[in-house]
Amino acid sequence: MASQPELVPLPSRLPRELARLGTQPSTFPQQILALRHDALDLRPRSPRLAADMVHLLPGPRNLVRSRVGGAMGHRSGALPRRGTDELHRASIARSKSPSGPFEACPHNPLMYNGRWGAKNLTVQSTGHATFVEAADGEWYASFIARRNVNGSSPLGRETFLAQVTWENDWPMINNGKPIILSEEVGPMTGPKKTPAPWVDGFPGKELDPSWYQLRTPYVKSYDVYDGRLVFKPNVFGLSDRDHPAAVLRKQTSLNMTFSAELLGFEGVLGQKMRVGLSSYLGEFQHQDIGVKGCNGGIGGMCLYTEARRNGTVNYWQQPLNSSSLLKSELKLHIRAEPLVYRLGYGIGDDEPTYITEIESRWQAFAPTGFYVFTGASFALFATGEGEPWPVDGPKVGFTRVEETYYGEDIGDYDRW
């Protein structure tokens, strides 16, 4: 049995051949790890090729490839241009030694959809490619890219797949052609099917693992029991760079509805006390709908929305019929479409009433000094907005969440 591959450091000074690929040496870590060839089992796993890989972020990915017969072949380093902007791309160099000299691929960059126009194709910012050989001997590249929707990408970076062929021992991604959204890779399965709805009724005592929290929690800010999610609100809200009482799920479709049914409660919410849901990009950009104590000194509780556009907040509120009781069956909805997000509410199985909308480009917007590439999430939250939640305050939370998906029908070209 072959020994495990051993990771060994390369010299901190990069060979000049790597610098010629268009990426500055300063963008690489001080030490690049490579697989030492004498620790590899290079026996072919298919009739044609054998390969072993190690993932290196954000620097090169190293790929060792041999010919049939076990002779040592080339060692290649796939180099991403850092970031996820319009110039994002993937290039490669090769050598028979991890210390070089490295030979740049004659058709670099291997993948760069921007060469056909940064505002042209829907798929943009292609890069961070990792190669893999399938059981049938076919090669593929897994990489990240954005889907541009009228010039912006509300879902951020997504995972893509393209076929890889070899020409004179150099890889070719998609035969050097642009990555087109409608093209199928591998076995042909036809048009993408619309997923079935996803529902969480909070069974058991733990959250579904698809939920996550912001940053590292230092206190537990929720409980799950008896088919309900009950928050333990604190002073922090979604606009604070801290740990608010909130749970989030990544938005996975450009055309979907996120719905959540509020837990009924008795008691009064003050003006700072809020419970609701949000389309969340970051502390500087989130679109909220929920229930809180009414503003303006009118007393009672209000349904409210807050829509944010680069620091400008548009607030709307509507008093509820009861000032000290929130009945169950009040549902909050966020309807996410390719070009717009709409915030609304409904009672029971009634159709939603949408009251506020905001252009989807704001869910892909970063103010000066920030950069976003993760895309939007949906959040359930409760907060005292700078004030502690009263000890005798209402127990707030949710009893059911549902995601409903629709056909996306996104074209190959970003034309709307």
The residue extents of the domains of the chain are: 54-70+83-176, 198-405
Give every CB contact of residue 410 below 8 A, 6+ residues apart in sequence.
122, 147, 149, 181, 254, 338
Q: Which two tokens stand for residue 15?
A: 């060979």
Q: Rounded to an integer, what distance in angstroms lies between the CA atom of residue 412 and that of residue 122? A: 5
Q: Which of 116, 378, 132, 135 is nearest to 257 (CA)?
A: 378
Residue-level pLDDT at 28? 31
Q: Which two tokens stand for residue 365?
A: 């917007």
Asked if 121 contacts 113 with a C-beta cutoff of 8 angstroms, the reply is yes
Residue-level pLDDT at 191? 83
Residue-level pLDDT at 215? 93
In 255-298, at which residue ranges do the beta strands (DSSP E only) sit?
A: 256-262, 265-266, 274-282, 285-293
* Long-range residue pairs from 366-374, CB within 8 A, at least 24 positions apart, any chain: 366/282, 366/284, 366/285, 367/284, 367/310, 367/311, 370/282, 370/284, 371/83, 372/156, 372/281, 372/282, 372/285, 373/84, 373/146, 373/156, 373/157, 374/156, 374/157
Q: Which two tokens stand for residue 410?
A: 């996104």
3-state secondary structure of 223: strand
Residue-level pLDDT at 17? 32
Residue-level pLDDT at 212? 96
Asked if 411 contacts 149 with a C-beta cutoff of 8 angstroms, the reply is no
Asked if 149 contacts 360 with a C-beta cutoff of 8 angstroms, the reply is yes
Asked if 203 contacts 226 with a C-beta cutoff of 8 angstroms, the reply is no
CATH dotted code for 198-405: 2.60.120.200
Q: Rounded to an integer, what distance in angstroms lies between the CA atom of residue 170 and that of residue 151? A: 33
Q: Which of 378, 155, 402 is nearest to 280 (CA)?
A: 378
3-state secondary structure of 363: helix
Asked if omega into 58 is within 30° of 0 (cis), the reply is: yes
Asked if 358 contacts 351 with a C-beta cutoff of 8 angstroms, the reply is no
Asked if 60 contacts 119 with a C-beta cutoff of 8 angstroms, the reply is no
Q: Rounded to an integer, what distance in angstroms lies between the CA atom of residue 175 and that of residue 110? A: 9
CB-facing half-sphere around the CA of 21: CA atoms within 13 A: 33
Tens of pLDDT, residue by residue, the chain (416 residues): 433 333 333 333 333 333 333 333 333 332 222 222 222 222 222 222 222 222 223 445 556 564 433 333 455 555 555 556 778 888 888 888 878 888 889 989 999 999 998 889 999 999 888 888 888 989 999 999 999 999 999 999 999 999 999 998 899 999 999 999 999 998 888 888 999 999 999 999 999 999 999 999 989 999 999 999 999 999 999 999 999 999 999 999 999 999 999 999 988 899 999 999 999 999 999 999 999 999 998 889 999 999 999 889 999 999 997 766 677 789 999 999 999 999 999 998 899 999 999 999 999 988 887 778 889 999 999 999 999 999 999 999 999 999 999 999 999 999 99
The domain defined by 54-70+83-176 carries CATH number 2.115.10.20: yes
Q: Which residues pair with 142 in a beta bridge?
A: 130, 161
Q: Which of 321, 328, 319 is nearest to 397 (CA)?
A: 328
User: How long a stretch of residues is the chain?
Assistant: 416
Q: Which two tokens stand for residue 97?
A: 């030694």
Q: Which of 3, 80, 68, 79 is nearest to 35 (CA)?
A: 3
Q: Which two tokens stand for residue 88?
A: 């994002």
3-state secondary structure of 362: helix
3-state secondary structure of 361: helix
Q: Where do we find the tokens 């042909």?
A: 188
3-state secondary structure of 27: helix
Stretch (H or E) spanning 52:
strand 50-54
Q: Which two tokens stand for residue 146?
A: 């954005």
- Exposure letters 209-218 (e unless 16+ CB within 10 A, then b): eebebbeeee
3-state secondary structure of 354: strand
Q: Do domains 54-70+83-176 and 198-405 have the same CATH topology?
A: no
Give every CB contact of residue 278 below 8 A, 6+ residues apart in sequence.
238, 246, 286, 287, 288, 289, 334, 378, 379, 381
Q: Which two tokens stand for residue 95?
A: 């050598």
Question: pTM for this structure?
Answer: 0.81
